[in-house]
Structure 1
Amino acid sequence: MTDAADLTARLIRCPSVTPEDGGALVMLGDLLADAGFEVHRVDRNGTPNLFARWGARGARTFGFNGHTDVVPPGDLGSWTHPPFSGHVQDGVIWGRGATDMKSGVAAFVAAAIDFVRETPPDRAVILTITGDEEGPSRDGTIAILDWMRDNGERMDACIVGEPSNPEIMGEMMKIGRRGAATFTITAKGVQGHAAYPHKARNPLHALTTYLNDLIAAPLDAGTDHFDPTGLQITSIDCGNPASNVIPETARAVVNIRFNDLHTGASVQADLTARANRVAQATGVTLSIEAQISGEAFLTQPGPFVDLVRGVVTQETNRQPVLSTTGGTSDARFIKDHCPVVEFGLVGAYMHQVDERVPVAQVHQLKTIYQRILEKYFE
């Protein structure tokens, strides 16, 4: 039997802060190759990635996806145990990545190895593991999917092992995610003296009018599986040190998490139309720069979702809520390849000082993944 908790601790000891691998993918590649998997490194632009297959090419294929890169640990002196020690004490594994998500990777790697060793199916299992999920995400899972397309590889369904449960194992699984976009709005007016406003055009007045319009008129009221689109103003600045000068330029940053009523392009078009109306009314030019980091998607409830939900319910005695909450994950790339859901550990300590995970929870997750494989290939 492959010990998922021991593998978690060993992975934590690899200092794989994005984009460094720290030996994590080398370790996993050797382990999977020894278990009979066909292993390929799919590094791109210095980003480490791993693809592993077991079984016949072209057969029905189940996939897992995850990442071994982690966020920086911060102040080392704030940690009870060193962040890359993989310290195990009183049934708890400590270290950066313990929750997000070296434990998830260890659980599905261990489950896949034991599954193909003990009950080899007439099918195939694919594991895709990246070192670029916490970073820009341009050369991670995207690079693996590009390589799979070019080499005739395909998954029929996939689980992303991100921590999906807020507080209790089995309470939630993700069947979609909101889209995410950041918009920088630049308002350009005419500089002038604050005592003579008729000789200037204040960009801050136009910009705050525009932002108030965004807040006052929500984009939607939500859908069956998604909350209403959320909009947060995260920055307003004009770089003006003088209290008696009307600035020429002001900028604001808006982050929008949108549901499946929208695309990134449609949200941008809406914001642009509102900007044009404010510009026409004030004489201040408003331009918008967009950075769309993911589109909204939903894996419709059906046989695949029911299978995963059923196994989780059986193993945890809880029926998970089908959720689309949270930030982005690499599921946003996989959804264009095959149906995808997310299920992993409790995420209460992810990205925190003293990140940690109970050993028993890692073993439970491995069991869930192995049961999903067994049910999928029945």
Structure 2
Amino acid sequence: MHKCVLTSLALAMISGAAFAQTSELDGLIEAARAEPPTTVYAVTGKIVETAEAFSLKYGLQVTGKKVNESGQIDLLIREHQAGNVTGSVSLASDASVIIADLLSQGVVESWVPQDIAPYLPESARDPLVVVSDPHVWAYNSEAYEACPISNIWQLTDAEWSRRVTLMDPLDKPAYADWFNQLAEHHDAAVAAAYEANYGKPFDGAGESATQAWVKAFAANSPLIGDSSVVAEAIGAPGQEQPFFGMLSTAKFRDNESKGFKLAICTEMQPFSGWLYPGLGVIATGTPAPNTAKLFIYYLLTDEGIEAQRIDGKVPSDPRIGLPDDEPSGVGDVMDQMMVWNTASATSDIDARQDWQDIWRMSLTR
């Protein structure tokens, strides 16, 4: 399945496809026009312009609201408990909580258009993954002719103490879940990277290679910040010794708007980054269920996802590609990315606090 997902994502680099009007779509449009206005939540501010374009296209009143992962979960639960659902669609919230808790409790439901489902990889259908958000290891291309790092274990060495940056796993749960994904599905690859870097097999005395790496990485005093702090620390021009680090490809737009010099570190062992699943779910009990379905349908088209494609977010439908002017170039390294396994959502949730505790106790500032 791992190779199939990679193949499907790699195929997404082809040019965008046109989507014909269908009877399913016609029925949704007609039913939606009899429903009240509604709101859609997403972690990206691009949802505002997407909702505006959607409303104009279909003659509906849908408002886009940027809400972070934990905020979306809180809103979905509180609105469900109150029986007063305002936000009918949640996009790219906390994937593990959505899958392990909210779907099973009936707070949200996953819906996939019959017209589009056959084109999606099986791993993106239940629950629906609208896009995957790449988080990549990055460096400053002005300061370095090529990436100065080739192996994640280098980030635990004294040479890179206080010179690596990323978002806080205590505040950004996807990063703690990334540790669990590595440990559960790719620990052998982390151990192989250790051997490649140090010339001897990993011997953790009962400790996984991933756990040993997380501890050593945190102990090497990385700079913790929000996405803007991380992007500036790595990519701001004029630095003699810029930081190395991890961030979402969405921040590569700063190369044009701010003159940053962000570049992806390719051929990194064991991975150059990871693909976080951006789920699209519908709030159970919304007074605008057909509008919600129509909006999900819209997000699965090249027109509906255009604003996010330019940020390097990879559509699940392989008929839709990344734009030629997507600034990060992540389309060229899809085979070097760790693909998220949504089947491990329960494990990710159960282990999240443990990984955050390991990080917290090991972190040296």
**More helix, by proportion:** 2
**More strand, by proportion:** 1
Query: What TM-score results when the alignment is normalised by the length of structure 2?
Result: 0.26
Greater RCO, CA 8 A, separation 6+ = 2
Query: What TM-score results when the alignment is normalised by the length of structure 1?
Result: 0.26
